[in-house]
Structure 1
Amino acid sequence: MRRPLVLWATAISSALLAYRFYRLPAPLGNDVQLGAAVDPDKAEGPHQHRRRKCDEHAKWVAKMVALHNATLVLTVDRKGCANFTNLQKAIDAVPDHSSSRTLITLDAGVYAEKVVVWSNKTGVTLQGRGNLASVVAWNDTANSTTGGGTFASATLSVLADGFAAHNVSVQNTARPASPGEAGGQAVALRVAGDKAAFHLCGFYGAQDTLLDERGRHLFRGCVVEGSIDFIFGDARSLYLGCTISSVANAGEDGASEVTGSVTAHGRASAAERTGFAFVRCSVVGTGRVWLGRAWGPYATVVFARCHFDDVVAPGGWNDWNEPGRQQTAFFAEYDCTGPGAANVTRRVPYAKQLDQREAAPFMDLSYIDGDQWGLPPMLGGVAVASADVI
């Protein structure tokens, strides 16, 4: 259930007094274009049209300020109403190694740029207008980057601790790689900072869409779309109420051929405390996919109370063609439903079906030590035992 939001009449006015806004000195220069395109169907002149748009933008920003516990606000849009028209420039303006939070508002539009939140830009909250409304998009692949490979192909790289994003879409629009094609990996999001949270966001690509590299992360009510190993890395992450959408092609021999994989977890040793936990998520889409492949010998992936469409292969899991990993990988399911979970007796023998006691440690914020940082301020104090708060 959603917690009732604050009353805007008082919250916005108090927020505007309490928060400090970043403003560039006039003139704004090349970064913000003052001229906005005029809708020919509107009777108002260009100045009135732009003012109306900017007034609406200001009201939305004020509303976001009231929701987030930030001491500095930076604004980004395409209409000339904000501090920046470029997201990377806004991130570059965040104070280095700040102990307080910076809110960056990203108005609706497609921002065609490659963005890095460097490790010194701590405590950033990125707030968009909605998944598929505020879009960051680029088209690098492992082949197109200069010596960087798959990791460097990311559209958005989050290397700083304490990052949060709300209602934003991140896309890698590169052409999907053909089967067996080398260098076609194309990451949308790379997250390597600790204590990162993503709320109601979307991540779209094909092979290697989401590089959940390292650290503790929360994905709440998000959409992740891809085909091959499209959630991969060695992080300790909790996915609550997410839609996991396969865009894998159907195999040549029909529905029986597996053509993709949801996860590829890279845990390398028993000493690591990493793994992916999916709670009340849905696995849907096209093709036929494994729930996970053992990229690392101790790969750890759990699906609890999830819904599986028939896109999930009957065997469920794959050992990366390394039979020894069957003894060390931890692939498990608990109380899952749908056509893809209808006959668990067909799962590979090393997959586990957990009971409630065994599944419980993977099913709430304590799995990622996220009680203090996982929930956004507007949901602060709400106990999250599963994916109910989305």
Structure 2
Amino acid sequence: MLWAASAICSALVAVLLATRSFYLQQQPASPRTSTGAAEEGRHHHRRRACDDQARWVSKMASLHNASLVLTVDRRGCANFTSLQKAVDAVPDYAAARTLIAVDAGVYAEKVVVWSNKTGVTLQGRGNLETTVVWNGTANSSGGTFSSATFAVLAAGFMAYNLSVQNTARPANQGDAGGQAVALRVAADQAAFYWCGFYGSQDTLLDEQGRHFFRGCYVEGSIDFIFGNARSLYLGCTISSVANAAAEGAVTGSVTAQGRASPDERTGFAFVRCSVVGTGQVWLGRAWGPYATVVFARTYLAAVVAPGGWNDWNDAARQESVFFGEYECTGPGASGGGAAQRVAYARQLDQRQAAPFMDASYIDGSQWAVPPLLPPMQGDDDVISAEYANTMAGSM
């Protein structure tokens, strides 16, 4: 009996489907208006865009070996239209890595990766395509640190192929509260690959922890890389937008490193970078009495002031700071023309420069992946060309 009932039901379903198919075939086609055609075109274009994004996300998920993938865009193809909402959806203190794939577009919002959102990888479509912007200042945000467009407070953060901007109006000389941070990094083991950071005064707050910046672009005017982290900048472009002044007056500074005691293991190392731009800038100012900054095998344009370094108007700091250069080139380098370095600047030999020259400076072989970073030898890259080409092709 049950078999018979089942057979009858199957037959009825078949008849109904056949009838519906015949009915649909017999309906006259609706006339295509110009509005309908345009709407259909838009839907088709959106479907293609969503399909393209899905393929890209799949590729990135595989490259990053992510266990959870969250997507962000402005076209309705993704899980979220807000980057902050995607960050908030990351599991707390996750042991596995979460990938947040952000499509091309401008995302006007403040973003904070809170300390409980560990193991996040942020992937954009290119540092000229995916941009996070805000316009906070020390005055409008309750302090310099709070002005950041993008703040990283969680360990194990990585970002690829995107830009962060603070679009606040550049402060006039002597203005109080005009500091405007684009990126704040206050967590350990954070890495940034082929990213851009744009601002004026205090662009990049490299606050604390061990950090790696590979192939990044940093733009600013006054102390625009500052903080008390232990960071390696490899192959980065450092661009001054300081105002030009009469008679070559110095109007800006690249770094303001904050090492406060000899017991701290902090400092900034710039290896095979370029310092270019406008105005005249110091390579560094002694924000902390033991400020530590090294430029190695870096091109220094004429934008670098002849003296090179500044003691923050405290002569006592000249005895404790570590401001070093090693095999730098260009018209702004020591011995490269008009450069006449201050007496407390150090021209390093190979032995003195070696601790700053590769990923061991930040213990990077333990965490600055992918891939693991071998020691630098000559001009060999510490990132494999194969991986770099793969990531460039994803943009």
TM range (shorter): 0.7 to 0.9
Note if 1:57 corresponds to 2:57. no
2:82 matches 1:86: yes
Could you say what secondary structure the match of 1:58 adopts?
A: helix
Superposition pairs of residues 124-163 of structure 1, within 5 angstroms:
124-145=120-141, 148-163=142-157
Whole-angstrom CA distance in 1 between matches of 2:233 and 2:373? 20
Query: Is 1:279 equivalent to 2:271 in the alignment?
Result: yes
- What amino acid does structure 1 have at the position aligned with 2:188? D
Aligned AA (1:55)? D
Residue 372 (structure 1) shift: 2.1
Does residue 123 of the first structure (1) align with residue 119 of the second (2)?
yes
State the TM-score, normalizing by the size of structure 2.
0.85
Structure with more helix by fraction: 2
Task: Report the 3-state secondary structure (helix = DSSP H, G, I; strand = E; otherwise coil) of the residue aligned with 1:46.
Answer: helix
How far residue 357 of structure 1 moved from its aligned partner, in angstroms, is 1.1
Summarize deviations over 1:85-120 as a string: whole Å, max 9, x none. Answer: 000000000000111100000100000000000000
The equivalent of 2:43 in structure 1 is 47
Contact 1:203 1:210 (8 Å CA) reproduced: yes
Report whether the alignment pairs 1:106 with 2:102: yes
Gaps of 5+ in 2: 1-34, 389-395
Alpha-carbon distance, 1:387 to partner: 7.2
1:340 matches 2:332: yes
Amino acid at match of 2:145: F
Q: Which residue of 2 aligns with 1:359?
A: 353
Superposed, which structure 2 residues align to 1:121-270 within 5 Å? 121-145=117-141, 148-251=142-245, 253-254=246-247, 256-270=248-262
Describe the shift of the 1:387–1:202 C-alpha distance in structure 2 as closer, same or farther (beyond 3 A).
Answer: farther
How far apart in 1 are the matches of 2:37 and 2:233?
Answer: 45
- Specify the code of the residue in structure 1 equivalent to 2:366: Q
> Conserved in 1, the CA contact under 8 Å of 2:126 and 2:162?
yes
Question: How far does the alpha carbon of each residue in 1:146-172 deviate from its partner, in whole angstroms, 9 at most, with x for none?
Answer: xx3000000000000000000010000
* Contact 1:104–1:124, Cα closer than 8 Å, also in 2: yes
1:52 alignment partner AA? R
TM-fit CA distance, 1:208: 0.1
1:293 aligns with 2:285: yes
2:92 — aligned with what? Answer: 96
SS of residue matched to 2:365 = coil
C-alpha distance in structure 1 between counterparts of 2:159 and 2:241, whole Å:
24
* Cα 1:42/1:283, change in 2 over 3 Å: farther
8 Å Cα contact 1:280-1:387 kept in structure 2: no
Tell me, in whole angstroms, the C-alpha distance in 2 between the residues paired with 1:210 and 1:191: 8
CA drift at 1:343: 4.2
CA shift digits 1:192-238 (9 cap, x unpaired): 01000000000000000000000000000000000000000000000
Larger Rg: 2
After superposition, the Cα gap between the structure-2 partners of 1:310 and 1:92, relative to the gap in structure 1 and judged at 3 Å, is same
Q: Which runs of 5+ in 1 are unaligned?
A: 1-38
Runs of 4+ in 1 over 6 A off after TM superposition: 39-43
Matched position secondary structure for 1:312: coil
The TM-score normalised by the length of structure 1 is 0.86
| 2:273 matches 1:305 | no
Distance in 2, matches of 1:41 and 1:218, equals 51
C-alpha contact 1:240 1:387 (8 A) present in aligned 2: no
**Local SS of the residue matching 1:143:** helix
SS in 2 for 1:126: strand
Greater length-normalized contact order (CA 8 Å, ≥ 6 residues apart) = 1
| Counterpart amino acid of residue 288 in structure 1 | Q
| Aligned residue number for residue 314 of structure 1 | 306
- Is 1:279–1:387's contact at 8 Å kept on the other side of the alignment? no
| Amino acid aligned to 2:320 | T
**Equivalent position SS for 2:48:** helix
Cα 1:344/1:299, change in 2 over 3 Å: farther
What's the offset of the Cα at 1:381? 6.5
Per-residue deviation, 1:313: 0.2
How much identity, in percent, do the aligned residues show? 73
Task: Give, as a single letter, the amino acid of the residue that structure 2 aligns with 1:63.
Answer: K
